[in-house]
Amino acid sequence: MKIKDNFWLGLLAGAASFGLFFFLLNLIPWGEQYGRAPYLLAFIPGIVLFRMALVKWNYERIGKGILLVTVVGMLLVFFLYKV
């Protein structure tokens, strides 16, 4: 099945990868000393997925959507989460 190169699909893939990995990270009991580390670790699959979409699969629009979700999410974590 051929996947259509679509920006909205990239946004969905980036948000889904963050949500799934964040859910899995919340199963680990983090202490208060780690601060925003679980949030930032949850963005790692988005970065890997972004690279695979651009380089390996040659889906430019999907990669741009994943990158947008990742960058905006990281900025929100940095500016809204108080340490």
67-83 pLDDT, tens digit per residue, is 999 999 999 988 998 76
Is position 36 within any domain?
A: yes
In a domain, 26, yes or no: yes
On whether residue 12 sits in a domain, the answer given is yes
Q: Is residue 1, in this structure, part of any structural domain at all?
A: no
pTM for this model (two decimals): 0.86
Tens of pLDDT, residue by residue, the chain (83 residues): 788 899 999 999 999 999 999 999 888 887 778 888 888 889 999 999 999 999 999 999 999 999 999 999 999 988 998 76
Residue 37 lies in a domain: yes
CA dihedral 49, 55, 57, 61 (to 10 degrees): 70
Number of domains making up the chain: 1
Q: What secondary structure does DSSP assign to 33-60, as a single string?
A: GGTTHHHHHTTHHHHHHHHIIIIIS--H
Query: Please, is 63 exposed, middle or buried when counting C-beta atoms within 10 Å of its C-beta (0-12, 13-18, 19+)?
Result: buried
Domain with 39, as residue range(s), is 7-80
